[in-house]
Structure 1
Amino acid sequence: MRWRSSTRLNPGDLFADLPESLSEEAFEDLLRASGLRIERIVSQGHTSPEQGWYDQAENEWVLVLRGAGRLQFDDGEEVYLRPGQYLTIPAHRRHRVSWTSPDELTVWLAVFYP
């Protein structure tokens, strides 16, 4: 049995509509479903605020698509990510973005799940 729909499928493009200049990081939800969120993040020389750490109630799987970034964890561990590299950050593992490439856009894909 073939699936039929009167609605045409419309593919997205992770590199479409990238900002030309960024005064702050750009966050865009690409998909939200029960217990799942997929987000595109665009950075250029941005870091997390000095006074704060991300302490999320959900797990995060993050992939660098373009550019580069470094994540710092509250225990002192740092992880450098370049295009194609990904990392799973367990829920409540406190972290921050300590560096992103200042010379090019860094495009991240983040998947949040329980």
Structure 2
Amino acid sequence: MNILITGTSGEPIYAQIVSQVRQLILQGELVSGTALPSIRLLAKDLQISVITTKRAYEELEREGLINSIVGKGSFVSGADQEFIREQRLRIMEHKMKEVIDESRLLRINFTEITEMMKLLYEEEKG
């Protein structure tokens, strides 16, 4: 498992870990039952606090992506990909609602929102 942490992203370190592990699971690179590095080992490898790594694992467990077993470690859960995808879609819908609410406050119409989204999407594709 290769996780890259960047100090310039503006995203908290624990969130970077969660995001990357989530992506690996959704892409099928980490399959059900795969053991994750221990909290201490990952913290050492990434040169970060054990508390930060623990927070990331707790978030992944809350999302149903991993299971932690005391004394044995953390493993990718058996949740099916469709269930995980539905969870992520629900989160995405919530974020989109926040964007819509903010756009209404700023009096930005739907056409402007879609243009902004299109530009950002194309920019990210490279």
* Structure-1-length-normalised TM-score: 0.32
Considering only CA atoms, is the larger Rg found in Structure 1 or Structure 2? Answer: 2
Higher helix share: 2
Higher strand share: 1
